[in-house]
Amino acid sequence: MARAVRLDVAAPPSASVVADAIEREVALRLRPDPELLERLAATRTALIERAEGEARRMNIPLVRCIIAGSAARGTFLNDRIDIDCFLLFPPETPREELERHGLALGRALLEAPQMRYAEHPYLRGTFQGFTVETVPGFAIKDPAHPLSAVDRTPFHQEYLTQRQTPAMVSDVRLLKQFLRALGIYGSEARTAGFSGYLVELLILEFGSLRGVLTAARSWRIPVLIGAGRTPPPGVPEEVAIVLVDPVDPHRNVATALSRRNLGLLILAAGEYLDHPDRRAFELPPPSNLPRAVAVDRVARRGTFVLAVELDRPDLVDDVLYPQIRKAARALATEAERLGFDVVGTASSAGERRALILLETTSSQLAPVEVRRGPPAGIDRTGEFLAKWTTPGVPVLQGPYVTDQGHLAVEVPRRTTGLPELLRESLPKLPLGKDLREHVASARVVPLTEVTEGPELEGALAYLLAKELPWRRWNSGD
């Protein structure tokens, strides 16, 4: 009898082995080439020397100029190289003088400078072919008592450079790219994601990309990172992560991060660790949903989408977006108070307008409204009865006693449409203070009547094309 031949089938590689190979490949792709690093180092040195020289020539009391951030530590991504140049002045410098000297010195350094605004104005331009931001600040001695928002930056720079290893620098780039692929990298108000400094502290805390993801998959929001650390005072209830700034115990590094974006990381971390895929590091195409497609989708869903368009206030995004989101919450709360079921909201801003979308299960309320009165047996029942039994008062039914023992009447609604009702309510709602100035010219219209534009398509995608980003990893797309 012939002997059976045994065929050994190799076991598929484990998830960790696959992840190792993916991360080596991506890290190699993200690593800046030596020539770029040399040119960047030379530019940093030249920028500091030029700033100090120009300050002497212009008789500006500059204490020192430092280059900080990812361009100084090598943690930048190759397509996002910005040099952060901090111009530090004596702490006793008046704020107006700080701004004037900072802008004058920045104009002397940069080509094609453009004014930007944060806590105070700064400049963005180019120097030796690199994009550079010149930001004025104060040369403080204690980072726990800053005079402006940027004063801690030199201390952040020192803290990180003393602790980061080359392997950690590489893993910072990997984590940044992972977050970018999810659309949650960046602390600006438009994104409400992970700042670069937060990413670098997470790598320090957990040792590597895999260490961060392994920890993150089991997080429960809100997350307190760092055993034995005391949260800073005044942490808001809706905080996502509390990570105390190592140079300032009064500051939470993760203030800008939203709970939604932390939730995305938590779920994506588990997905990647279980099913590693190189597409976890690839940027998806922009999310845009044309209005015509959205109208068809809304019709199939059987819902109603309303748009509120306001002229854009003259504000930078970091100031405008919190106000737009506050307005969206106020509109949703008012719609629910009126009796509508809210499915979701979205908001966006373009060059000329701020836009809020509200999806509800219907566009109309029933033409009959129940007005409930006091329970039987208390003094105010007389007032209620007198009001609703007066001749000429439009009562469809009642007064009567409800099953819960309250008086009630049924009356016709004067207005039943959501656009009309919200248009009436808009001036009374708690919108952002700058948005309130544009309420008089606001348009409250159905989706079919809203002005088209890229900000509309982005908001529609957020509202009507919700999907876990990593579903494409194993979709074959």
Question: In Å, how far are 386, 394, 395, 400, 421 from 413, measured between CA atoms?
Answer: 20, 10, 11, 19, 11
Do 181 and 259 belong to one domain?
Answer: yes
- The answer to whether the beta carbons of residues 127 and 110 sit under 8 Å apart is yes
Bridge partners for 133 per DSSP: 84, 124
CATH code, domain carrying 180: 1.10.1410.30
- The answer to whether the beta carbons of residues 254 and 242 sit under 8 Å apart is yes
Do 345 and 379 belong to one domain?
Answer: no
Within a domain: residue 157?
no
Residue 52's SS3 state is helix
pLDDT for the residue numbered 1: 45
DSSP state of 241: E
The torsion angle over the Cα atoms of residues 243, 244, 250 and 251, rounded to 10 degrees, is: -50
Do 446 and 407 belong to one domain?
Answer: no
- CA-CA distance, 453 to 307, in Å (whole number)? 13
Do 305 and 267 belong to one domain?
Answer: no
Instruction: Name the amino acid, one letter, at 327.
Output: A
Within a domain: residue 259?
yes
Instruction: Name the amino acid, one letter, at 465.
Output: A
- The answer to whether the beta carbons of residues 284 and 182 sit under 8 Å apart is no
- H/E element holding 64? strand 64-68
Do 45 and 121 belong to one domain?
Answer: yes
3-state secondary structure 98-138: HHHHHHHHHHHHCEEEEEEECCCEEEEEEECCEEEEEEEEE
Within a domain: residue 15?
no
Cis peptide before 12 (omega within 30 of 0): no
Low-confidence ranges of the chain (pLDDT < 50): 1-2, 7, 476-477
- CA-CA distance, 370 to 382, in Å (whole number)? 18
Within a domain: residue 44?
yes
Do 398 and 429 belong to one domain?
Answer: no
At 328, list the tokens: 């969206």
Do 269 and 358 belong to one domain?
Answer: no
* 301 phi/psi in degrees, rounded to 5: -75, -20
* Distant-in-sequence, close-in-space partners of 49: CB < 8 Å, separation ≥ 6: none
From 221, 248, 283, the end of a domain falls on 283
Whole domain around residue 216: which residue ranges? 163-283
Do 255 and 325 belong to one domain?
Answer: no
CATH code, domain carrying 112: 3.30.460.10
Number of structural domains in the chain: 4
From 120, 150, 180, the end of a domain falls on 150
Within a domain: residue 134?
yes
- Nearest Cα neighbor of 159 from 212, 193, 206, 205 is 205
At 292, list the tokens: 């015509």
From 129, 150, 171, the end of a domain falls on 150
Within a domain: residue 110?
yes
Do 277 and 305 belong to one domain?
Answer: no
Instruction: Name the amino acid, one letter, at 163.
Output: R
Do 189 and 260 belong to one domain?
Answer: yes
Do 395 and 360 belong to one domain?
Answer: no
Do 402 and 444 belong to one domain?
Answer: no
Within a domain: residue 183?
yes
Burial of 132 (0-12, 13-18, 19+ CB in 10 A): buried
- CA-CA distance, 438 to 355, in Å (whole number)? 12
- The answer to whether the beta carbons of residues 153 and 103 sit under 8 Å apart is no
Within a domain: residue 175?
yes
Q: What is the pTM of this model?
A: 0.89
CATH code, domain carrying 348: 3.30.70.590
